[in-house]
Amino acid sequence: MVTYRIVQIGSLRNGWAIEVDGIITRSAPTAATLGAYLDAILAGANEFDAHDIAKVIERRPPPSYEERMAVFSPSGRPEPSQDPFLKRSSL
């Protein structure tokens, strides 16, 4: 059985990689890009198509507040944040 993991890499933990049975096989600056690639591979896409899918996800801007509100339903959880990716100052 093959084991896939998305792990942080780099001395500052500022990158991401796909680890297949303990071996790094692909890296990217964001986990979303790798998630899209891995999802495509596991769904049966070849490596070239999976690469193209990952590039589309990488280039797409983050969803807007309005897009996230379109799927929101008041089920007791808070509304989506206006800016979910706030930059935190380094300590």
- pLDDT digits 0-9 by tens, 39-81: 999 999 999 999 999 999 989 988 888 888 887 777 777 777 7
Cα–Cα distance measured from residue 46 to residue 40, given in angstroms and rounded to the nearest whole number: 8
pLDDT band of residue 24 (cuts 50, 70, 90) is very high
Question: Is residue 13 in some structural domain?
Answer: yes
Domain residue limits at 20: 4-62
Indicate the number of domains in the chain: 1
Residue 58 maps to a domain: yes
d(CA 7, CA 9) in angstroms, rounded, equals 6
* Any domain includes 76: no
State CA 37 to chain mean position distance. 9
Residue 27 forms part of a structural domain: yes
Q: What is the pTM of this model?
A: 0.68
| Domain assignment of residue 89, yes or no | no
In a domain, 67, yes or no: no
